[in-house]
Amino acid sequence: MSLSYRQPGVVLTDRRFTVPLDHTDPAGETIGVYAREVVASEKAGQGLPWLLFLQGGPGFGAHRFVGRPAWLGRALQEFRVLLLDQRGTGHSTPANRQTLPLRGGPAEQADYLTHFRADSIVRDCELIRREVTGGAPWTVLGQSFGGFCAVSYLSTAPEGLAAALITGGLPSLDAHADDVYRAAYPRMERKAAAHYARYPQDVERARAIADHLLQHEVTLPGGYRLTVEAFQTVGIMLGSGDGSHRLHHLLEHAFVPTTDGPRLSDAFQEEIRGLLSFAGHPLYAVLHEATYGQDARPTAWAAERVRAEFPQFDAGKTLAGDGPLPLTGETIHPWMFDTDPALRPLRETAHLLADRTDWTPLYDPARLAANEVPVAAAVYHDDLYVDTAHSLRTARAVRGLRTWVTDEFEHDGVRAGGPRVLDRLLALARDEV
């Protein structure tokens, strides 16, 4: 039974669905998928078309809005919106250190998690679409990894789509994880340089923190071990529009005087724990590189291996000189499964996934080349998380796809830009601009 309730300006309905764990075995084991239906209060009784929102990730449940902010307000002008907690996330059947042992040991857990990539998410969406729309196609809005899912949707079940709108999420159709990170590390370097140019006082602050971590063992509240390499990953903040400013505010209160000399403040430790811990989204770490697996080549901890090709990211060498501390971005490393207590029980499972050699393709270039679904994509110039050149190459490979390339926003443009990003994508998809 679905439960409906109200927030300012909207009516919400909790929707729960049962889907096969393995869509090639529809009569086999099932899992639960949750979604929240949202409609404008004044349109609650109207027969509106549907818009499905696919959250970025992997591993994050759909954003919990209050009312109708950001892009949602624009969408609710003409759509009934479904905010999907992709399998394993949010209020769907969970997959984390607490629940995965129910599957068995690491090998069984790794096999289970192979069913949590974009291809399975798309098949979930198709089952859900038939139930909620009566079979009518819907519009999909995919942010970041949600855009990867949207391209997989176009490859797998384009008949289910009235239009596809993608923000910061056009993936390479054929790049191996190594290629993704060889393109990513120079972007990380540029973003960090831009941050230090904006806040030059942060050069010394970041170096001081890193030097302290080299000399002291620091365990954050909850058991997270803060190492220099872990601290460098705060660079992930630089992919959002306000991230540089938030990073500056984090660094400015890092130390307090104590009887043992300067130490990292409780406030800093608590804030950085929230930024670095994967407790709320473990699948992001466990499955991140698997989102790029499409053939017999293992991903094999690509971000860690490729980082060795960029010696400028070695903190020890940096601190031996006087340069700014390099910061990293959206990278997952094997040491994270030692430093983070939320990931430690999943260490062996993650290694098995990294070694896997039977990944299946997520995209169909031939079908995309013959695409007939209206598609519009916002490509953020020098996006920290998704390579612009990769995105534009994919845009050229999808028949009829229209791009909006902009440097007005960072990766979070669909959130930070209010209604403008969605408004522009809808106009492009409808050939109104």
Supply the residues annotated as catalytic.
144, 358, 411
The SS3 assignment for 430 reads coil
Residues 6+ positions from 366 with CB-CB distance below 8 Å: none
According to DSSP, residue 62 is labeled: P
396, 367 Cβ separation under 8 angstroms: no
325, 210 Cβ separation under 8 angstroms: yes
The SS3 assignment for 224 reads coil
352, 110 Cβ separation under 8 angstroms: yes
What is the phi/psi pair of residue 184, to 5°? Answer: -80, -40
For residue 140, the cross-strand partners are: 52, 164
| 349 vs 106: CA distance, rounded Å | 5
For residue 54, the cross-strand partners are: 84, 142
Neighbours of 261 (CB within 10 A): 9
| 75 vs 307: CA distance, rounded Å | 40
Cα–Cα distances in angstroms (integers) from residue 323 to residues 112, 184, 221, 243, in the given order = 45, 21, 30, 22
